[in-house]
Structure 1
Amino acid sequence: MDDWNLYLLIGLIGLAVVVSGPVAFGLVLSQRGRIAALEGRLARLERPGLAASASPGLYAVPPAPPARGPEAAPAPSVAPERPQPAAQAPEPEAPLKPAAVPPVRLPPPETPAPGIIPKKPSFEERFGTRWVVWIGGIALALGAVLLVRYSVEQGVFGPGTRILSSLALAAGLVAGGERLRRRLRGAAPVPPRWPDIPAMVTAAGIVAGFGAIYAAHALYGFIGPELAFVLLGATGLTAMVAAGLHGPALAGIGLVGALVTPVLVGKAGGSAWPLTLYLPVVTGSAYAFAWYKGWRALGLAAWIGAALWSLVLAFATDSPGAAITPVLVHAVVQAALAAFVFAVLPHRGEADEAARPDPVAAGVLASLALVLVHTLWFSVAAQGAGAAWIAAGLAAVAIPAAAAFLAPAAALGLATAGASLCALVALWPDADPNAEPYLIWRRVQDSGLFLVVVGLPALSLTAAGALRLLGGSRLPPASALIYAGSAALAPLAVLSLAYLRIGQGTASPGFAAAAGGLAAVMTALAATFRRHGEAASSPALRLGLGAFASASVAALSLGLVCAVSGGSLTLAFALSALATAAIARHLDLRALRWCVAALGLLVAARLAWDPAVVGPDLGRTPVFNWLLVGYGVPALAFALAARLIRLPDRAPDAPPLIAEALSLLFSVFLVVFEIRHALNDGDILAPNTSFLEQGLMTLSALGFAGVLVRLDAVHGSPVIRAASLGFGALALLQGLCGLVLLTNPYLTDEPVAGGLLFNTVALAYGAPALAALALARAARPTRPLWYVRAAGLSGLVLGFVGLCLLIRHGFQGPLIGLDRETGGREWYAYSAAWLALGLLALGYGILRGSLTARLASAALVGLSILKVFLFDLSGLDGPLRALSFLGLGAVLIAIGLVYQRFVFAPERRG
């Protein structure tokens, strides 16, 4: 016997074992189920009184004939009933049944009695009824596919025999599953927790059929793409019809097997076109049956599989010269199918007033846009801005936009379309092929084509949103707000990104004119909505009016940025937010306040991208430079916007809180960059720093914290409260780490500028110390005790370090590094200064009742005692040693007297 015949015989025997095991197991279960059903029926019949009370339609037993004899005679007072002849009966009577006992329906065998907790399945039941069935079904599916692959690798039979054998195996499995289903249909019902054995066998056959047809087309070329399309569609339809008989589990198994089949069998010559034909047939069949049967989980599984395949195919195009057209076609077709199934079809014919936002539709539209953008991202390196790439990019915009236009419940698709268009602007290929990829400041290839491709869709999104608002005046406020915001913001965002790609942030009269034209369009739309609103007011029309009026102001601000060199998009968005807030307040459009929040988040993203929003050319004049415009104007704009959109007599919600946070953020950037600009000769990004800069930063943070503590007492805003705590903690960390350790001139030997008392040390250390003490006093009524004590202690530490540095500067001059010799007079001055500072802290602690100040005084005095006894006794000589001890003794006695008379004085007796 030849080797291959031996291998074939072994393979057939193994296949017979694999198939016969589940079949035999199913037959045993069927007989066992019938026996159980008969035993249950017999037990019910044997229970006393149950047969007479059962209804005729459920396990009924015909009533016994009346007995003949004296013992069965009725009582004399009751006349016996006699059956009437058929001719005298006005209508036929029902079969005889007891009238006093209502019919009783028995529960199914698996339903526990009321109040009885069902018993959990044992390990044996789980193993015998679940695990082996699932594993067996998976083994059948994998075996059917791997048998095809093995025959290819080993060269067993010819290609035609392999395909016919695979088809015969698939048909046999499907037929076996159907036979099992019919044989088991009359048995006892299977518990829901048990997997369906006929469905498992049928699923394995479906997977084998998919694999055989795909191999016949992609591996051997027996059939062309048209016939392959028909056969694959028929196989998918067979799987869906079988799922109608066997349940949704079969549909899921068949879907997964069909999606995995190309991976197990292989693909033809590296071409993606067979997959482009095959995968839409699989997912389309799943969508169709999921919609018909109402199995949404099956449809979601089909979309997840299609999305994963799109991502996998996109990875394969990340190389120059790769064929991207079939990959793009696949991504577009799958996205269109998913949008139609999940966004359009479920909401067809839905009234506008009932069109609440559908989270499933929104999620699917967002995910399909991400898949398309991901495919564009990976394929741009292979082809550039070719016709297929541009068409796929426009499809990424058109598919969610069309779904949003057709189904108001999928209104978020319009926002998704705007985001996809912005991604298309950012991903457009660079004019220089050697430029660093995926940066927004790159110049574009073919700027004329670029402007047409991104400009017309932007205006189309605006038109779609406006038409939806005008034609759907009964839309819910949430859907109307989405349409209005998307229609207004999409062209603004696209024009801004296009200006960065082409104008490169410099003065551009062309983009300024385009922004002016966009402002005119938005103004015309606002006027249109105003006329319609006067005729029949509705929330949708009012939101459209507010959104397009705000967009007109934003477009004018953007035009100003494009026309003036050194301008900033941040400035334009901030002014737009202020204008939107004013319109929302004037027209009483509360929903429009969320547009202010959206603009604020856009500005926050711009800050995260590049905090230096003004550019390098700021001017050399301290304070009065472009920083005031780039950061001061947005800070003021968002502060006013927060005030305008705050609802009266209500706790602040998200929109005013976002505006307040941005106002604080811009204020911080303004102060920080102004300090850096003044101390680094106009360079706000200088890598070096100084103790004066660190001191001014600490002083600024403490100033912010103190001002916010005062404002919090008036406004009660959680943003202000959190910011006051954050600025306070930041200032304490900045002072202790930056001033005491990192930039301390005693450690760095940085020169000290100025005179004996008024110098950079006094400004860098003294001013923050006083500010920290003032913060501790102001925060005492409203802030936690740890915060107050930390602020006070930081003030004392900064004051102590600053006082020591001032003394050293007085004796050493500008350079006060630790490597310079310290004289006796300087050592004595330290002792005297520490004692004086301790006395001041003690006096403040007694007058203000501050335990922290008194403890700090004790620490300073203790430090002075240690210095005098450990150092002055041996380090000083002559009168300085004596004066040191005399002074220390006098001060200690005075401190003791103060504690006895004022701190712990005994109560006077009357």
Structure 2
Amino acid sequence: MEGFLILLVLGFFLGWALGIAGYRKASALQRRVQALEDAVRNGAPLAAPAPLPSPWDKPAEAPAPVEPVEPAPKPVEEPALAAGPPPAGPSRRRPGLEELLTLRWGTWLGAGALLLAGVFLVRTAVEEGWLGPGPRCALAGLLGLLLIGGAFWLRRRPAAERPGIPWPDQAPPALAAGGLAILFGAAYATGPMYGLVPPLAGFALLALVALAGITLALAFGPVVAAIGIAGAYVTPALVETQDPSLPGLFLYLLAVTAAALAVLRQVGAAWLGWCAAGASAAWVVAGGMIAADSAAAWAPALFAPAAAGLHVGLLPRAALASGLGRRLALLPFALLAAAGLVLVPGAGSLAPAAGILLFSPIALANAAWERRLMPLPFLAALAGLLALLAWTIPAWLAPEEAVTIDGMVQALLPIHPWPPEALRPFLGAALLLAAMHGLTGAWQERRSARSLAWAALPAAVPVLTLLVAYARVRGFALDGGWALAALALAAASTGLAGLAMRAGAVQRAGAHAAGAMAALALGAAMVLADQWLTLAVALFLPPLAWVEGRSGLAPLRRVALAVAGLVLVRLLLNWHVAEYAVGATPVLNGLLPAYGLPAASFALAAAMFRRRRDDLLVGVLEAGALAFTTVLVLAEIRHAMTGGDWAGSADWSFREAALQLTALALLASLTRWLERRLGGRRVLGVGWRLLFTGVAGFGAVLVLANPAFDSEAGLLPVPVFNELALAYAVPGALAGLALRGLAPRLLARILACYALLAGFAWVTLETRHRFHPGGMALDLEPVGGSELYAYSGAWLVFGAGLLALGIRQQVPALRLAALGVIGLTILKAVFIDMAELEGLWRVLSFLGLGLALIALGAVYRRFVVTPAPVPPG
């Protein structure tokens, strides 16, 4: 009995809460009536009455106000007071608290009180033992019928409408909702609770009440329908039976769904559609779990596409003119397809997959009938592809026969024709999915107004289906047979492109050409591996750009962006690249097709795409070309220095680091030149700045890890033009040249500091190398007197060169850097030379320092310091 009471109370609150939903709609209608009354009072002419609008009609735009014609002025004999404006009619006012409490909430609370009175009456009868279960259920049913009858009686005698009341009478729908909830409780008590009737009869009673509630919605509005729909979908869960019939259950649910959508079609309450879709999807999942591997698993699998078809078919076509109507068609379809997909993994039968495939003909038929439903085929195709991915493929081995010669196995030949029996259902489903979308799209693209959207189906769905099937069956292993299937698909797309070009449909031809290129790329992936596969994919970018330019098909830019992203991931974020076999030949090795040709392909495609529009795709392609070029240069140097073991564990020598640093600096300078030559390309501007930042960081590391501290760093015994120049002089000079016109102050300061540091390191280390060409490490050879004196001379020359450059270019920073170097030389002379040098070397050191300082003062006086102007007279 407690369950009965709980059910009745929940029904009351459900009807009470859902009654709020009708408030806005009733208020909107009442405001329109009030506006008409105001217009009548003001004397405005009324047009002929228009037909009642459908709940799905778009709101008509308000007509432009017509300016009244001013009457001719009458002659005025004597001055009079100007007449004021005509009195306006009574303005609409917002409902006050009293009206809200009495006319609306009070009505629904009264209905709830009636429901609770019936509940308490039944409970008292149970506690006092007045009546048995049968009479209680009969009285409850009679009470529900009386309330519904009272609702009809009040509906025939509506309360007098008064101008101040902003909504119609709420008593009839409130009584009907309460009576329906009591009837549902009485049916539940008669059947599942007390077992007064057999389970099938109890189920029929509950279903009858629920369908009656849906029917009552046509008279009392969507609130009553909500109670009926909720009861209809909950009814099967309330009935327990020893022999459940899943086909019967889902046939009943299909009828309930059709009834709910019929009410939705009449009253236009969108939330009824959402409730029906959610409940149907929940029953699909629950039914699939109940059926599992039984023979009745086809019932929920077929119910999902059938319910989706009802959601689309019973929706008025006028509703598709609004965003809400289109969502009511698309989202329930997607929700039911997702519920059907839940049943596919681990299914013991083909029913769930067959149900998913049935979404495609429903979607294709509706899209062909109504062009605003064109997203449906793509949703169905997505569901089909996901079903193929989730399909449980049994283990299989192709039976083969060994061919032997002299006892040695020479070949393995298949005994039975391919495919094996275990793969036939999966491959058949894949073929059916591709054929449905491909053939229907090819047929409709010449007949429909949305020809481009239809052309996208044969261009995309068969290729994606082949990709999924190949991945599930072969696991991306190399296979020439699958490549032939991709080649046949490319030929078919090429034929469709030719037919489209013959018909003058350039965009359709572009879509099919993109499909042909995608099929060819997939075929290349089936027979190529490692860098050759990435190269084959990258080489499709220029043809894509050409097709996009000829057809003007903008979606091809998104396809090219996806292809570019795939190539970037495979070459820059793939650690298996180090395992590619590139050969041992310097420069002319496998690194060129791995990085050089993709870089060229990216650069060419960027130039071709930029002719139409400079967007994200062009930026990604330019960045990819620069990134591949950088990696190629560094990898080629590594390959040459390690004898081909570029990805191995060979040590990183100072010579290799110097070559890579110089190469980075040259590449950064070349990129900056290209940026200026091409009119300030943003990607190239960011690229050379990043490269020079890397040069500064890499160079700073080499300054710290220099050969003076590394006894194993062997340098060429060549003065000036050796590894030291590549590690310090060249990148430092290029960094200094990059300072011209450099806007960001932070980067300019970084590069200036690095250039000064690299130049000072080169002068110092080159001096050390001149005295010890065989081994310049400090732990191998101590610093002699002449060498120590040479450092002072080299630093002074370096400082003088900086000073001369600063004076010539009128750059104060260079002059300050020169003074810093000279100051460092003075400190060295005072603290090191005085203690370490003896005899003539000490004299020469201080003599040279003194002369240099005197010369410095003269230079500053002559070229830097400006004399003060002499006052006249």
TM-score, length-scaled by structure 2: 0.67
Deviates more, 1:483-492 or 1:294-303: 294-303
Deviates more, 1:653-662 or 1:175-184: 175-184
The one of 776, 780, 795 equivalent to 2:739 is 776
Structure 1 residue 229 displacement after superposition: 8.0
Superposition map of 1:167-566 within 5 A: 185-186=159-160, 188=162, 228=203, 232=207, 235=210, 238-239=213-214, 241-242=216-217, 284-296=258-270, 298-300=272-274, 302-303=276-277, 328-329=301-302, 331-340=304-313, 346=317, 361=326, 365=330, 368-369=333-334, 372=337, 376=341, 379=343, 381-383=345-347, 386-395=349-358, 397-429=360-392, 446-472=422-448, 475=449, 479-531=450-502, 533=503, 537=504, 541-564=505-528, 566=530
State the match for 1:97 in structure 2: none
Structure 1 residue 507 displacement after superposition: 3.8
Q: Is the 8 A contact 2:344 2:352 kept in 1?
A: yes
Q: Residues 623 and 51 of structure 1: is their aligned pair in 2 closer, same or farther, counting only changes over 3 Å? A: closer
Structure 1 residue 721 displacement after superposition: 0.3
Q: Residues 22 and 597 of structure 1: is their aligned pair in 2 closer, same or farther, counting only changes over 3 Å? A: closer
* Structure 1 residues 119-173: Cα deviation after superposition (integer angstroms, max 9, x where no partner): 9x88x9999999999999999999999999xxxxxxxx99989987886787677
Once residues 126 and 889 of structure 1 are traced to their aligned partners in structure 2, the CA distance between those partners, rounded to angstroms, is 102
Alignment of 1:597 with 2:558, yes or no, is yes
Q: Residues 102 and 457 of structure 1: is their aligned pair in 2 closer, same or farther, counting only changes over 3 Å? A: same
Deviates more, 1:399-408 or 1:698-707: 698-707
State the match for 1:745 in structure 2: 705
Q: Is the 8 A contact 1:702 1:772 kept in 2?
A: yes
Once residues 673 and 347 of structure 2 are traced to their aligned partners in structure 1, the CA distance between those partners, rounded to angstroms, is 60
- The percent identity for this pair of structures is 29
Structure 1 residue 457 displacement after superposition: 1.9
Gaps of 5+ in 1: 34-39, 45-49, 57-100, 113-117, 149-156, 351-355, 434-442
Superposition map of 1:8-47 within 5 A: none
Deviates more, 1:708-717 or 1:406-415: 708-717
Structure 1 residue 387 displacement after superposition: 0.5
* Structure 1 residues 301-358: Cα deviation after superposition (integer angstroms, max 9, x where no partner): 65466567778999x799999997666556544544445467xx5389x9xxxxx998
Q: Residues 549 and 854 of structure 1: is their aligned pair in 2 closer, same or farther, counting only changes over 3 Å? A: same
Structure 1 residue 865 displacement after superposition: 6.4
Once residues 545 and 778 of structure 2 are traced to their aligned partners in structure 1, the CA distance between those partners, rounded to angstroms, is 57
Q: Is the 8 A contact 1:210 1:261 kept in 2?
A: no
Once residues 790 and 819 of structure 1 are traced to their aligned partners in structure 2, the CA distance between those partners, rounded to angstroms, is 32
Amino acid aligned to 2:683: A
Amino acid aligned to 1:464: T
Q: Residues 851 and 51 of structure 1: is their aligned pair in 2 closer, same or farther, counting only changes over 3 Å? A: closer
Once residues 132 and 678 of structure 2 are traced to their aligned partners in structure 1, the CA distance between those partners, rounded to angstroms, is 84
Q: Is the 8 A contact 2:11 2:227 kept in 1?
A: no
Q: Is the 8 A contact 1:170 1:208 kept in 2?
A: yes
Q: Is the 8 A contact 2:703 2:761 kept in 1?
A: no
Gaps of 5+ in 2: 28-33, 47-83, 123-130, 397-418
Once residues 788 and 167 of structure 2 are traced to their aligned partners in structure 1, the CA distance between those partners, rounded to angstroms, is 87
Once residues 312 and 768 of structure 2 are traced to their aligned partners in structure 1, the CA distance between those partners, rounded to angstroms, is 75
Once residues 702 and 104 of structure 2 are traced to their aligned partners in structure 1, the CA distance between those partners, rounded to angstroms, is 67
Q: Residues 238 and 530 of structure 1: is their aligned pair in 2 closer, same or farther, counting only changes over 3 Å? A: same
Q: Is the 8 A contact 2:285 2:339 kept in 1?
A: yes
* Structure 1 residues 624-643: Cα deviation after superposition (integer angstroms, max 9, x where no partner): 34443344444433433343
Once residues 105 and 686 of structure 2 are traced to their aligned partners in structure 1, the CA distance between those partners, rounded to angstroms, is 57
The 3-state SS of whatever aligns with 1:470 is coil
Q: Residues 711 and 323 of structure 1: is their aligned pair in 2 closer, same or farther, counting only changes over 3 Å? A: farther
Q: Is the 8 A contact 2:250 2:300 kept in 1?
A: yes
State the match for 1:59 in structure 2: none
Superposition map of 1:705-720 within 5 A: 706-716=669-679, 720=681
Once residues 505 and 623 of structure 1 are traced to their aligned partners in structure 2, the CA distance between those partners, rounded to angstroms, is 31
State the match for 2:49 in structure 1: none
Once residues 105 and 850 of structure 2 are traced to their aligned partners in structure 1, the CA distance between those partners, rounded to angstroms, is 89
Q: Is the 8 A contact 1:53 1:104 kept in 2?
A: no
* Structure 1 residues 742-780: Cα deviation after superposition (integer angstroms, max 9, x where no partner): 996369969535336666665455554444334433x64
Q: Residues 51 and 658 of structure 1: is their aligned pair in 2 closer, same or farther, counting only changes over 3 Å? A: closer
* Structure 1 residues 558-612: Cα deviation after superposition (integer angstroms, max 9, x where no partner): 4344344557555444444432432444xx4212x43243133244146447844
* Structure 1 residues 464-489: Cα deviation after superposition (integer angstroms, max 9, x where no partner): 222121112xx2xxx43333233212
* Structure 1 residues 806-848: Cα deviation after superposition (integer angstroms, max 9, x where no partner): 7788899999999999858788877766665555444444434
* Structure 1 residues 469-516: Cα deviation after superposition (integer angstroms, max 9, x where no partner): 1112xx2xxx43333233212222333344444444454221222122
TM-score, length-scaled by structure 1: 0.65
Q: Residues 171 and 526 of structure 1: is their aligned pair in 2 closer, same or farther, counting only changes over 3 Å? A: same
Deviates more, 1:553-562 or 1:674-683: 674-683
Q: Residues 453 and 139 of structure 1: is their aligned pair in 2 closer, same or farther, counting only changes over 3 Å? A: farther
Structure 1 residue 548 displacement after superposition: 2.4
Deviates more, 1:572-581 or 1:743-752: 743-752
Once residues 268 and 275 of structure 1 are traced to their aligned partners in structure 2, the CA distance between those partners, rounded to angstroms, is 12
Once residues 819 and 320 of structure 1 are traced to their aligned partners in structure 2, the CA distance between those partners, rounded to angstroms, is 80
Q: Residues 557 and 605 of structure 1: is their aligned pair in 2 closer, same or farther, counting only changes over 3 Å? A: closer
The one of 574, 587, 600 equivalent to 1:636 is 600
Alignment of 1:106 with 2:82, yes or no, is no
Deviates more, 1:159-168 or 1:567-576: 159-168
Once residues 726 and 290 of structure 2 are traced to their aligned partners in structure 1, the CA distance between those partners, rounded to angstroms, is 61
